[in-house]
Amino acid sequence: MKRVLAVQVVAAAFVLLLSNLAWSADTSMLKPPKGAKVAIVVFEDLECPQCARAAPMLHEAAKKYNVPLVQYDFPLRQHPWSYDAAVNARYFDSKSSKLGDEYKLYIFANQNSITKQNLRGITEKWASDHGITLPFVVDPQGQLSAKVDADRQMGERIPLDHTPTIYIVSDSGHGTTVTEVKELTDLYQQLDAAVKQAGTTTQANKSQGHKSANR
């Protein structure tokens, strides 16, 4: 009897701990980019199958609602090549944000054929097909890695426990509201609500769309 009671106490304590962690989530750093009232924010891992599934939907939703898609890197430590791919994406971002987005979508679409060993070759071919010569050392000064690290540290601060983690961030002029999109099937419904709450001025400067604030 005492053993059963002890197990119940431990279980209750664990549930309480999880509850406290949920309540202590800090999303205060998440805001729409300047000039936007509503934004889609995603923390993603280029090796994550669910991220690959979500990415085209997020881009399409951002286009349909004309709101920024703010992408943060959150490469999971157990994934062998996602960090390197994120650094590569940052390199292509430095050429153009459109190029960076196209590379990410390409990697998502071809996840199943990518390994840590062939990522470089696949990336070189993709770059060549887009008229770019990939340098032998993509990030000689570590500046691109620092940006990936900054994104991951932000996610750890929240703290995140899965990818993709998707939020709708809105600013109605009375403070910023951050709502997690837990099911992709709810994305459009939650966007409708956020746009309505923020008013009619939801159009964002397209030059700011699709990029993280620290890129």
Q: What domains are there in the chain, each with its CATH number?
A: 38-198 (3.40.30.10)
Q: Mean per-residue pLDDT for 58-78?
A: 97
Say whether pLDDT at 209 is over 90: no
pLDDT in tens, 2-16: 454 443 434 444 334
Instruction: Taking residues 30-56, report their average pLDDT.
Output: 97
Q: What confidence tier does 25 reach under pLDDT thresholds 50, 70, 90?
A: confident
Its pTM surpasses 0.85: no
- CB-based contact 88:123 (threshold 8 Å): yes
79-83, 165-169, 196-200: the lowest-pLDDT one: 196-200
| Size of the chain in residues | 215
pLDDT band at residue 24 using 50, 70 and 90 as cut-offs: low
Q: Are 66 and 191 in contact (CB under 8 A)?
A: no
Mapping DSSP onto H, E and C, the string for the chain reads CHHHHHHHHHHHHHHHHHHHHHHCCCCCCCCCCCCCCEEEEEEECCCCHHHHHHHHHHHHHHHHHCCCEEEEECCCCCCCCHHHHHHHHHHHHHHCHHHHHHHHHHHHHCHHHCCCCCHHHHHHHHHHHCCCCCCCCCCCCCHHHHHHHHHHHHHHHCCCCCCCEEEEEEECCCCEEEEECCCHHHHHHHHHHHHHHHCCCCCCCCCCCCCCCCC
